Structure 1
């Protein structure tokens, strides 16, 4: 950990901490919080040139107490001034082009939490494909009737969304959801209450994972393979010296928010550590245990939840943390992975770098040529492969640990029991669409990165990232 001073325009920030275990991009996010200058606009002068986002601090040469200079103009975060153009107001043929056959969902009375969840999950083509194959004959014996009905309702609703450009009323789905999970049927003064989108996401994901188990396949297109994250944890009791390891599967990573968290990377790091009380066999009483987790298996789609709500004792209700926490369009989780998984990721990551370098006209690195280690496909020209044609060998997709943002579920308001949820989805054509219930509207990518909090505007509550894969 280093402490430096940063001069920006007429201001000087005398004690800015640098965690040298985190990339310089996180340091830029700290400066963003102090100055309002987005990381991509920052130019930080260091010895020999400008500070790069992916540089190693050990090679940068920054010293304790050093004075750094930053250039860049601050950004003003505010709601978009231009009124959105609603897709439903366009001619029908233009709606198809703009939204890609994806319709909005009518709000059936405080159901924005459900609509935004459904729109995010509907954006996953592999999930839609798996649901299309789900029938009574594929239903497992241990799947209860309500879980089966909810899975069928999800399948039918997704099909209806794909076949319409006009808004769809999700009443059959809502009816089954409330039967399966009565908490979503709570009323106050005869009106259905607002519910938590993350709770809806968890319950629906759990149901689909159970129902689609009977269809598990080697290509990982079941719910577990698409969204499941396997964690390996070290549990340690400092007082007794007891130590053990645990394995668990989860469907999202948590980004914990504190006064020290300015960027998603920092919140995820905190979220993978915890402390809890439990009985110690060696001490004969309860003691504090520390748990530190690492990712042991990655999914095709990585879900991240911002832990923005907490229980406020004085008001006996859940309050919201409004703090601004930035998140990237490209997320690299390599640093959060278990050692064995890191080893597996190294070759695919090198292949990815070579492919991206080739697009820029760069030569393939020597590292890729020497990192086969049994993971790369057979060379068709090697001995024993003379009969195979070049390019005919079967290629398989490999995860790289790098993910691209494809969906953001936001919450506007200060209480989990009120406010409004919206889904922001990236289409296959690269356009972003804001799904505000039945009103889809096109958005610019720069608007998506501004949904990071810090006020009463929409802020990210759940982010979904799609894995960047390579085939070899």
Structure 2
């Protein structure tokens, strides 16, 4: 004779979902890569990690991926009319195919690209014991691939009719320019010579006093060298001073870690930690003229930063989500100068990719490419 009181609604019980939710710990490698939007992996074909790590870093550049999509190997070959251009075209074509495959699959075996790399650069095809490939220098691979793309990928047109014209896509997006002054320290009356030098990467030299990337780069800006002096009619010491007059959209920095030791016959590694930032400011490395051009965009960055700081101070008792919700929307600003597509108009850089080496010499160990994921 007990009375039961049921609480609830008369609606039907929810139907069990056809596809059950899958948790991260239950996913395989392919499903995990898709869910986390991880880049496709490249299979190591026996000491080819130097090549794979280099390709992963290059693949992270959206503008390069787009340029390769529009690249036509046949048209480029017909336009050049030069047999010597065949190898660069074939290698660029295989890079295009590889990058397309990386968009569709989670794991790629880059056999075709490796074969064409070996044909174009036989030194990368050297073998050691058991006929296995020898380890190579990743920076050398990076430099050679950029030289190939310099020959095959044309520069892109800017929206401004007076846009600066570049000889290639690589010069446009990866290339910078130094304003160089050369002064003889032994002949005060000798005029200072001025020139321009193009670069595709900056070198951070590692010495006992260098602890940070920025200080290593500054050492490169002033150096002494010996060359023939027309005034003294003999070799003399010159001071070479360099400042950047054009910053590329993508700035490559090489840590010069390997030094050749003749006694051992190897490129030994300098085992010293050098700190580098996630956000890098190249303003101090530039000429006064370029600094003046960079200032307007830098002031906009500073205004946004100041507004964020002020908002954070006013909302000390608010949660991070609430502060993010109150944050006003800001229009995306161009990162290039209007008349120079592929340049940097602020001097600010965000770390995009890192290529690291594990080991004691460039001919051994293991290379790894680390790429920034989408925010």
TM-score with structure 1 setting the length: 0.62
Name the structure 2 match of 1:171.
111
Check 1:325–1:133 CA distance in 2 against 1; reply closer, same or farther (3 A cut): same
Name the structure 2 match of 1:427.
373
One of 299, 308, 313 as aligned partner of 1:350: 299
Larger Rg: 2
Cα distance in 2 for partners of 1:151, 1:224 equals: 16
One of 149, 155, 158 as aligned partner of 1:218: 158
Name the structure 1 match of 2:286.
337
One of 239, 250, 259 as aligned partner of 1:290: 239
CA RMSD of aligned residues (A): 2.5
- Deviations 1:25-84, CA, capped at 9 Å, x for gaps: xxxxxxxxxxxxxxxxxxxxxxxxxxxxxxxxxxxxxxxxxxxxxxxxxxxxxxxxxxxx
| Deviation for aligned residue 1:293 | 1.0
Asked if the contact 2:258–2:268 (Cα under 8 Å) also holds between the matched residues in 1, the reply is yes
Asked if the contact 2:50–2:367 (Cα under 8 Å) also holds between the matched residues in 1, the reply is yes
The alignment covers a number of residue pairs equal to: 312
Check 1:87–1:218 CA distance in 2 against 1; reply closer, same or farther (3 A cut): farther
Unaligned runs of 5+ in 2: 1-23, 160-165, 312-329, 338-344
Check 1:88–1:124 CA distance in 2 against 1; reply closer, same or farther (3 A cut): farther
One of 348, 355, 369 as aligned partner of 1:409: 355
Name the structure 1 match of 2:68.
131
Name the structure 1 match of 2:11.
none
Cα distance in 2 for partners of 1:87, 1:422 equals: 25
One of 313, 324, 335 as aligned partner of 2:273: 324
Partner SS, residue 135 of structure 2: coil
Asked if the contact 2:177–2:196 (Cα under 8 Å) also holds between the matched residues in 1, the reply is yes
One of 146, 155, 180 as aligned partner of 1:233: 180
Unaligned runs of 5+ in 1: 1-85, 363-390, 431-472
| Deviation for aligned residue 1:272 | 2.3
**Structure (1/2) with the larger strand percentage:** 1
Asked if the contact 1:87–1:95 (Cα under 8 Å) also holds between the matched residues in 2, the reply is no
Asked if the contact 1:231–1:293 (Cα under 8 Å) also holds between the matched residues in 2, the reply is yes
**Structure (1/2) with the larger helix percentage:** 2
Check 1:164–1:87 CA distance in 2 against 1; reply closer, same or farther (3 A cut): farther
TM-score with structure 2 setting the length: 0.78
| Deviation for aligned residue 1:203 | 0.4
Cα distance in 1 for partners of 2:28, 2:305 equals: 38
